[in-house]
A and B are shown apart, each in its own frame.
Chain A
Amino acid sequence: MEERLLETVRRLNRRIALLTGAGLMACAAIVLADIVLRQVGASFGGTDEISGYVMAIATSWGMAFTLLELGHVRIDILRRKAGPRGRALVDLFAMLVLTGTVTLIAYKCWPVLARSLENSSRANTPLETPLAWVQTPWFAGWIWFAAMAWLTFVAAAMLVMKGRLTEADEAIGCFGEEDATP
């Protein structure tokens, strides 16, 4: 059951990550178009602003994918010395701390959006973007990250309680350091 849940969540987030990547590509295209237009004397005058929004939204929506791919760097210098059971407990604890922190972050992001909604604020920029348009998907991304973290934590905790440590390690372990860091 837990594994099916994790597998579904992983597939779903892979799709989201692909969509997010496509958004980044689109943004690159806009930036390119603007560079070319500038050479001929025209410009949208808002690419920086768009890039910023894309970055904020891409960041929040990519977080859960990275979590499920074990991509958030951890230092495993002590963890490596523990046995399989100890390692599972360390992983669960780290996961719980992450989940709690991310939930708090998501909760604290709400007032930012709430204020924009209340005042119908617009960005102080050439495009005068209504901030709620871009802050809503950004905020939703953090909520999604928190929700995925809770799901993963609960699934992993159940796996650990059933003594299925290998499966738990696949879900919340520490690996992939090598392809996760610049």
Chain B
Amino acid sequence: MIWAIAAGLLGLLALSIPVGIVLFLLGFGVDAFFSPFPLIRGLGNLVWSTSNNATLIAIPFFVLLGEILVRSGIAARTYAALDRWVSWMPGGLVHANVATATMFSATSGSSVATAATVATVAMPQAEKLGYDPRLFSGAIAAGGTLGIMIPPSINLIVYGFLTQTSIPQLFLAGLIPGVALALGFMAITALICLVRPELGGTRRTFPLAEMSRALLHLIPIVLLFTVIIGTIYRGWATPTEAAAVGVAGAIVIAALFGGVSLTMFAESLLGTIKITSMIMLVVIGASFLNFTLASAGLGRELQALLDGMGLSPTGLILVVVVIYIVLGFFIETLSLMVVTIPIIVPLVVAQGFDPIWFGILMIVLIEMALITPPVGLNLYVVQGARKTGRMGEVMVGAIPYVIAMLIMVALLIVFPAIALYLPSVLSEG
């Protein structure tokens, strides 16, 4: 059954049938060939119970929040402010790219939105100040991936939903690895620019007065992050409710510091509906496939397969990592996550691994998929925003950051505490 499903999955995806529909088709296939009793009768109920779900409404809320921030010009001001603070380092403005992406990750649940935001505001500066286009754009593509790691994260919500894992715990677990990755990106940028200073453009320092003034422009975004995360951990709101708080916060901030207009608002709503429905078709499809796989006894078959291979738990994790890296070249992120969760997570958890830890590991691997060609959405987003030069330049520029991510994967495997420390400390208290 496993091989039939894997072959069916890859074949149907290659025919460029929409990913959500492929998952339904596989579910029908499992039902027809492997299930002892007809499962399709449960389809209607499953579609209802999957979408009638208060947790998932966080998805449109977080998407809307990001849309509002981008369209109201808060992004551009944040970038300018961070530039004042980080451009003295070797690599100059490249650090501002990473730092802005990190800040936006902390309010947006989406990587592509983060990359698009930063690319739009940063690209005009690159040529003006003489930066190497490869490193400069690669840093944006990589920085943008932090959007799904640093809470709030839509991908972590989907992971938590499909694996029945606590979403607040997942959010906590993502914080340290996310910040560590951001610092890693900056370290690797500085290193490259020390060796090859011509890649880094001009280093600039700013008078202290200007730097302190710039801090003012960081207030909105810091405030928003504090409010979202604060309400969750004070126990005032669930992650879903905090998302609603975030939407309200974003509207207030946009009204105070940026521009709100009816058109901007309508565009934000349309973007939200488009992204939400896309995600939900995939999520409902995955739930249906999950349901058929479980009913057809996938768990037993996987266990048997695994026992046959005689892998140690660490061996299993290494195999899983390689699978994700390879699939990540070809499959887009959310789809990659959703199609593999039903098969891989039960396997990993059965070997005694913590599902929260694995969620974070999976997110790093999926972040990598975002910036590895030929299918790496962030690469396309950044290329789309810069409008000149070749795609290949962004791909080359992203390589150092892929290396940083690989190091992070290794660190997470050797020191699981990087992810699990915060959840363990903060949930007991």
Residue on A with the closest CB to B157?
Answer: A182
Q: A52-B54, A112-B45 are in contact. List 12 more A-B contacts (CB 8 A).
A: A24-B64, A28-B61, A55-B52, A55-B53, A60-B51, A62-B274, A72-B19, A78-B15, A97-B21, A108-B47, A138-B51, A182-B155
Q: Report A-chain residues with C-beta under 8 Å of the C-beta of B63.
A: 182
* Contact indicator per residue, chain B 372-390, by CB within 8 Å of chain A (1) or not (0): 0011010011001000000
Q: Given A93-B15, A182-B147 in contact, is the A17-B48 Cβ separation under 8 Å?
A: no
| Beta-carbon contacts under 8 Å, A68-105 to B | 69, 71-79, 90-91, 93-94, 97-98, 101-102, 104-105
Binding stretch for chain B, among A152-160, A163-171, A173-181: A173-181
Partner of B248, one of A18, A32, A39: A32
In the assembled complex, the CB of B270 is this many whole angstroms from the nearest CB of chain A, namely 5
Residue on A with the closest CB to B158?
Answer: A182
- A32 in contact with B245 (CB, 8 Å): yes
Q: Given A32-B244, A182-B63, A182-B155 in contact, is the A74-B272 Cβ separation under 8 Å?
A: no
**Chain A interface residue count, Cβ-Cβ cutoff 8 angstroms:** 68
- A108 in contact with B44 (CB, 8 Å): yes
A49 at the B interface (CB under 8 A)? yes
| Beta-carbon contacts under 8 Å, B21-62 to A | 21, 24-25, 40-41, 43-45, 47-48, 51-54, 56-57, 60-61
- B148 in contact with A51 (CB, 8 Å): no
- B17 in contact with A52 (CB, 8 Å): no
Partner of A97, one of B25, B61, B377: B25
The size class of the interface chain B forms with chain A is 35 or more
- B278 in contact with A181 (CB, 8 Å): yes
A59 at the B interface (CB under 8 A)? yes
B392 at the A interface (CB under 8 A)? no
* Interface of A toward B, CB cutoff 8 Å: 14, 17-18, 20-22, 24-25, 27-28, 31-32, 34-35, 38-39, 47-49, 51-56, 58-60, 62-63, 65-66, 69, 71-79, 90-91, 93-94, 97-98, 101-102, 104-105, 108-112, 134-135, 138, 142, 174, 177-182
Number of A-B contacts (CB under 8 A): 224
Q: Report B-chain residues with C-beta under 8 Å of the C-beta of A73.
A: 18-20, 278, 282, 332, 334-335
B273 at the A interface (CB under 8 A)? yes
In the assembled complex, the CB of B145 is this many whole angstroms from the nearest CB of chain A, namely 11
In the assembled complex, the CB of A180 is this many whole angstroms from the nearest CB of chain B, namely 5
In the assembled complex, the CB of B51 is this many whole angstroms from the nearest CB of chain A, namely 4
B333 at the A interface (CB under 8 A)? yes
Residue on B with the closest CB to A49?
Answer: B54
- B266 in contact with A18 (CB, 8 Å): yes
Q: Report B-chain residues with C-beta under 8 Å of the C-beta of A93.
A: 15, 17
Q: Report A-chain residues with C-beta under 8 Å of the C-beta of B44.
A: 105, 108-112
Q: Given A14-B270, A35-B245, A54-B57 in contact, is the A75-B19 Cβ separation under 8 Å?
A: yes
Q: Report A-chain residues with C-beta under 8 Å of the C-beta of B394.
A: none
Q: Report A-chain residues with C-beta under 8 Å of the C-beta of B24.
A: 101, 105
- Cβ-closest 7 pairs across A and B: A21-B269, A182-B110, A62-B277, A66-B277, A31-B244, A51-B54, A48-B54
In the assembled complex, the CB of A125 is this many whole angstroms from the nearest CB of chain B, namely 11
| Beta-carbon contacts under 8 Å, B57-78 to A | 57, 60-61, 63-64
12 contacts between A and B (CB under 8 A): A24-B269, A52-B53, A59-B277, A66-B281, A71-B278, A73-B20, A77-B14, A77-B374, A91-B16, A135-B48, A182-B110, A182-B113
Q: Given A17-B274, A18-B270, A52-B52 in contact, is the A181-B377 Cβ separation under 8 Å?
A: yes
Q: Report A-chain residues with C-beta under 8 Å of the C-beta of B332.
A: 73, 75, 177, 181
Residue on B with the closest CB to A48?
Answer: B54
Binding stretch for chain A, among B167-175, B181-189, B235-243, B296-304: B235-243
Q: Report B-chain residues with C-beta under 8 Å of the C-beta of A48.
A: 54
B275 at the A interface (CB under 8 A)? yes
Bound CA–CA A112/B42 (angstroms): 9
- B16 in contact with A90 (CB, 8 Å): yes
B364 at the A interface (CB under 8 A)? no
In the assembled complex, the CB of A111 is this many whole angstroms from the nearest CB of chain B, namely 5
Q: Report B-chain residues with C-beta under 8 Å of the C-beta of A101.
A: 21, 24-25
Bound CA–CA A52/B335 (angstroms): 23
- A75 in contact with B330 (CB, 8 Å): yes
Bound CA–CA A109/B284 (angstroms): 13
In the assembled complex, the CB of A151 is this many whole angstroms from the nearest CB of chain B, namely 17
Partner of B334, one of A21, A174, A179, A181: A181
Q: Report A-chain residues with C-beta under 8 Å of the C-beta of B53.
A: 52, 55-56
